[in-house]
Amino acid sequence: MSLDIVDTGQTKPEDSLTVLGVRVDRLTQRETLEGIDRLVALRRESEEPIECQQVITVNTEFIIEAQHNQPFRQCINEAAMVVPDGMGVVWATRYLGKPAPERVTGTDTLPEVARLCARRGYRLYLLGAAPGVAESAAERLGVLAPGLQIAGTYAGSPAPEEEEAICECVRIAQADVLCVAYGAPAQELWIARNRSRLSVAVAMGVGGAYDFLSGRKPRAPKLMQNMGLEWLYRLYREPWRIWRMLAIPRFMILVLLKGRKTA
């Protein structure tokens, strides 16, 4: 089954909407995990090879980037599941009259993916981040998800010349689920480029999740997360993000001006 999108049973057209030309599926974290479970089970049971399926967690920066980056937009719109990471996207879904039930962030979903893998005997591979960080994140996930089988960890890089060797490592490791931390849009484009040669059932970009899990970077206090202010904490810790975060007001203005016409 080449380059096909496998039906996860989670995303029906009426459960999705388009925000500035970018698809967003109105899924809860639990439904996302059920979809991942279904994809891995399907691939394990299938006699024919099923192509790796991509899960994308979109935030406002993704949607702004996708306005001028056509391959990125296409990769999001063709993914198996596209979930709203970030309050800005959740706000837009409400404004456009098809509210997403909740935020589904890569950082919060990764430990749940690890628990799912531990429960079902799926093997998880952590690719990306600075050398040593994926290993520390794997250790932490082992504590959060006892019995988890880590198929492998590798920093690597998103450089095209490394792709073939990385895909081979993932294949030899017999991983079922691959998480990629190269930052957006590099990680999503890396997965989309390599889907046909990746031997895993599911791959998802997780941004800075290993940095948080390993303790290399502190995450915003829970209260700020719940108030939708995680971006403000990240800005306080990493002021250089101001340039990337200008996407937030730009996104809101574009949604208010054009959102209903392009939804």
Among 88, 111, 128, 185, binds ligand UDP (CB under 6 A): 128
Q: Is 99 in the site for ligand UDP (CB under 6 A)?
A: no
Among 40, 137, 148, 184, binds ligand UDP (CB under 6 A): 184
Q: Is 208 in the site for ligand UDP (CB under 6 A)?
A: yes
Q: Is 165 in the site for ligand UDP (CB under 6 A)?
A: no
Among 125, 210, 231, 251, binds ligand UDP (CB under 6 A): 210
Residue 179 Cβ, how far from ligand UDP at the closest point, in Å? 11
Is 206 in contact with 182 (CB distance < 8 Å)? no
Interaction mask 33-52, ligand UDP, x per CB under 6 A: --------------------
Is 240 in contact with 249 (CB distance < 8 Å)? no
The CA-to-CA distance between both ends of the chain, in Å, stands at 31
Q: What are the Cα distances from residue 234, in Å, to 208, 221, 238, 245?
A: 11, 11, 6, 10
Among 154, 182, 231, 251, binds ligand UDP (CB under 6 A): 182
Q: Looking at this protein, which amino acid is placed at residue 155?
A: A
Q: Is 188 in the site for ligand UDP (CB under 6 A)?
A: no
3-state secondary structure of 153: strand
Which residue number, 8 or 32, has a Cβ lying nearer to ligand UDP? 32
Q: Is 181 in the site for ligand UDP (CB under 6 A)?
A: yes
**Beta partners for residue 154, in sequence order:** 127
Q: Is 111 in the site for ligand UDP (CB under 6 A)?
A: no
Q: Is 58 in the site for ligand UDP (CB under 6 A)?
A: no
Is 192 in contact with 206 (CB distance < 8 Å)? no
List, in order, residues 6 or more apart from 237 with CB less than 8 Å away. 217, 218
Is 134 in contact with 153 (CB distance < 8 Å)? yes
Q: Is 207 in the site for ligand UDP (CB under 6 A)?
A: yes
Phi, psi (degrees; rounded to nearest 5) at 102: -165, 170
Q: Is 166 in the site for ligand UDP (CB under 6 A)?
A: no
Q: In the chain, what's the furthest Cα-to-Cα distance?
A: 51
Which parts of this chain interact with ligand UDP (CB under 6 A)? 128-130, 157-158, 181-184, 207-208, 210-211
